[in-house]
Amino acid sequence: MSFEFAPTQEQVEMLKMVRKFVKKEIIPVRAYYDEEEEFPWPVFQKMAEIGVLCMSGPESISGYPWDNLTRCLVMEELARGCGGIATTPMANILASEPIEIAGTAEQKKWWFSGLCLKGEMGAYCVTEPGAGSDVAGLSSSVRREGNHYVLNGTKCFISNGGVASKYVVLARLNKSAGAKGLTFFLVDRHWDGVSHGKKEKKMGNRASDTSEVIFTDVKVPEEYLLGEEGGGFKIAMNAFNMSRPVIGAMAVGVSQFAMETARDYARERKQFGTPIANMQAVQFMLAEMDMRIEAARLLYQKAAWMLDKGLEVVRNSALAKCFGADMAQRVTSDAVQILGGYGYTREYPLEKAMRDAKLLQIVEGTSQIQKMIIAREILK
Ligand SMILES: Cc1cc2nc3c(=O)[nH]c(=O)nc-3n(C[C@H](O)[C@H](O)[C@H](O)COP(=O)(O)OP(=O)(O)OC[C@H]3O[C@@H](n4cnc5c(N)ncnc54)[C@H](O)[C@@H]3O)c2cc1C
C-alpha cells in the first residue's frame, strides 16, 4: 500500500479557505485573547460558519466528508495561527471520537446536529483529580435505577468544560471490575445536577476554556449510554488513538509559525555589522527546526492516513503525538533564543508559542505515557 503525499484537490481548496480565515480572523486577535484569558466566542461563531469548528460526524449532518488526514491538515493551519484558539476545535474532535466509534444513529444526530449545525461545543470528560494518566483508576460513579442511570463525580482539566453544551463522560458502573467497570455516557449541560467548578488559570492556551465539570445525582436516560456497559475504557483508548495525530498536527502548526517568525527576524536583525541569519550558529538552529518540523509532519500525516485506511495505529499515533509535542517544545524554545531578549518579551509572539506548545506534552497522555505505549508495542 503506498502512502500518497500530494493533497487532493478538495484538501487544497479546504486549506486555502482555512489559511484565509486564520489570517483574517485569528492572527489579529490571538494576542488579545491570550492576554485577557477570554474565550473567543466571535471567532468560534465564524469558525462554525465555515464548517471547521466541528470536523467530525456523518457528512449528512456536517456537510463535509471529514477524514482523519484532512482534519489534521486543517488543525495544523489553525494551530499555526494560534495554539490556544485551535485547542477548542481539537477538544470538539476529541469529544466526538467516542460518538464516532460507538454512537447509535440517534446519538450521532443528537450530538452532531448540535456541534456541526448550531456551533455548540463538546467536552471529553475523563480526567479526575485523582486519575490523570491512570484512566482506569477513575472514581466517578454511576448506578442504574430503572430505565435511567444516576451519575456522580467531578472531572477536572476539561477542555471546553465551562462552555460545552454536550459532554461525553466516563464513569465507573462496577467498582470491582477495574478498567472493565468503566462506561461512557452522553450528558446535556442543561440536565439537573450538571455544574461547573473552577476555570483553570493556565500558562498557555489561554484562549481555551479548561474547567472542572461536576455531576451531582444527574439522571441519565438509558438511551444516553454510549456503547455497552463496561465498554468505556476500550472506547477511550480508541478515541485517543484517533485524536493523537491531531495533537501531532497542532505541534507542527505551532512550530512552523515559530520557525518562520525566527527566520524572518534573523534576516532583519543585525549584530556585528551583519544580519544574524548570516551566522552559521543561527543557520544551524533554523535548519534543525525545519528538519524536526518536517519529520513530525510526516509522522502525523502517516498516522492519520493509516487511520483512514483502517490500519492498526496504536504505535503510529503515539509516535506522532510524542515526537510532535517534544519537537514543538524544542523548536519554540529555539525560536525564542533566535530573537534573544526580544523573544522573551510579550511584544513578540514567540513566548506565547512556547507556552502554548508545552500543553501538547501533557494533554491526551503525557510524553512519558506515549513512550510507555510505544515501548509496549515494539516489545510485544
Ligand atoms: C489544558 C489542559 C486541557 C486538558 N483537557 C482535557 C480534556 O478535555 N479531557 C480530559 O479528560 N482531560 C484533559 N486534560 C487532562 C490531561 O489529559 C491530564 O492532565 C494528563 O493525562 C496527565 O494527567 P495528570 O495531570 O493527572 O498527571 P499525572 O498522571 O499525575 O502525571 C504526573 C507526571 O507523572 C508522569 N507519570 C504518570 N504515570 C506515569 C507512568 N506510569 N510512568 C512514567 N511517568 C508517569 C506523567 O508523565 C507526568 O509527568 C487536560 C489537561 C490540561 C492541562
CATH number at residue 138: 2.40.110.10
- Cell numbers placing 332: 519554540
Residue 325 inside a domain? The answer is yes
Whether the CB of 362 sits within 6 Å of ligand 1: yes
Distance in angstroms (rounded) separating the CA atoms of residues 364 and 257: 23
- Pick the last residue of a domain from 232, 260, 276: 232
CB of residue 132 inside a 6 A radius of ligand 1? yes
Distance (Å) from CA 282 to ligand 1 centroid: 35
Candidate from 39, 364, 366, 367 with most ligand 1 atoms within 8 A of CB, to mutate: 366
Q: Are 239 and 200 within one domain? A: no
Q: Nearest C-alpha to atom 32 of ligand 1 is from which residue? A: 133
Query: Can you tell me which atom of ligand 1 is nearest the CA of 135?
Result: 21
Quote the pLDDT of residue 1.
66
As a residue count, the chain comes to: 380
How wide is the angle at C-alpha 377 spanned by C-alphas 376 and 379, nearest 5°?
65
Distance 135 CA to ligand 1 centre (A): 9
Q: Are residues 246 and 375 in the same domain?
A: yes
Residues 158 and 39 placed together within one structural domain of the fold: no
Q: What is the C-alpha to C-alpha distance for residues 160 and 20, in angstroms, rounded to an integer?
A: 25
Whether residues 271 and 331 share a domain: the answer is: yes
| Residue 52 belongs to some domain of the structure | yes
Closest ligand 1 atom, residue 365 Cα: 21
Q: Is residue 116 a part of any domain in this protein?
A: yes
Q: Which residue's alpha carbon is nearest to atom 41 within ligand 1?
A: 369
> Which residue's CA is minimally distant from atom 38 of ligand 1?
133
Rounded to whole angstroms, the Cα distance separating 319 from 248 reads 9
Q: What's the pLDDT tens digit per position in 15-62?
A: 999 999 999 999 999 999 999 999 999 999 999 999 999 999 999 999
Domain containing 23 equals: 9-121
Domain end residue (candidates: 165, 200, 232): 232
Do 247 and 375 reside in the same domain of the chain?
yes
Task: Specify whether 241 is located in the same domain as 374.
Answer: yes
- Is 2 a member of any domain? no
- What's the CA-to-centroid distance between 130 and ligand 1, angstroms? 10
State the cell numbers at 298: 510526516
Measured CA to CA in angstroms, residue 125 lies from 26, 95, 138, 232 at distances of: 27, 8, 11, 12
> Is residue 246 domain-shared with residue 326, that is, in the same domain?
yes
Residues 238 and 352 in one domain: yes
Q: Is residue 126 in contact with ligand 1, taking CB distance under 6 Å?
A: yes
Pair (248, 347) in one structural domain: yes
Q: Is 136 in the pocket of ligand 1 (CB under 6 A)?
A: no
128 lies in some domain: yes
The best mutation among 39, 92, 127, 128 to test binding of ligand 1, ranked by most ligand atoms within 8 Å of the C-beta, falls on: 127
239 and 364 fall within a common domain: yes
Per-residue confidence (pLDDT) for residue 367, from 0 to 100: 98
Active-site residue (options: 76, 77, 100, 364): 364
Say which CATH number the domain at 360 has: 1.20.140.10
- Give 140-198 pLDDT, tens digit per residue: 999 999 999 999 999 999 999 999 999 999 999 988 889 999 999 999 999 999 999 99
Check whether residue 291 and residue 367 sit in a common domain: yes
Domain-embedded: residue 51: yes
Q: Which CATH number belongs to the domain containing residue 106 in this structure?
A: 1.10.540.10
Intervals of the chain under pLDDT 70: 1
312 is catalytic: no
Distance 328 CA to ligand 1 centre (A): 18
Ligand 1 atom, smallest distance to 160 CA: 8
- For ligand 1, atom 43, the nearest C-alpha belongs to 368
User: Does 167 contact ligand 1 (Cβ within 6 A)?
Assistant: no
Same structural domain, 164 and 287: no
Cβ 116 vs Cβ 65: under 8 Å: no
Ligand 1 centroid to Cα of residue 359, in Å, is 10
Give the domain-ending residue among 65, 92, 121: 121
Q: Ligand 1 centroid to 133 CA: how many Å?
A: 5
Q: How many domains does the chain have?
A: 3
Q: For ligand 1, what atom is nearest to the CA of residue 126?
A: 11
- Whether 361 maps to a domain, the answer reads yes
4 lies in some domain? no
User: Is the beta carbon of 368 within 6 A of some atom in ligand 1?
Assistant: yes
Predicted pLDDT at 175: 86
As a whole number of angstroms, the distance between CA 200 and CA 375 comes to 33
What's the gap in Å between 296 CA and the centre of ligand 1? 22
Q: Kindly give the number of the ligand 1 atom that is closest to the alpha carbon of 362.
A: 20
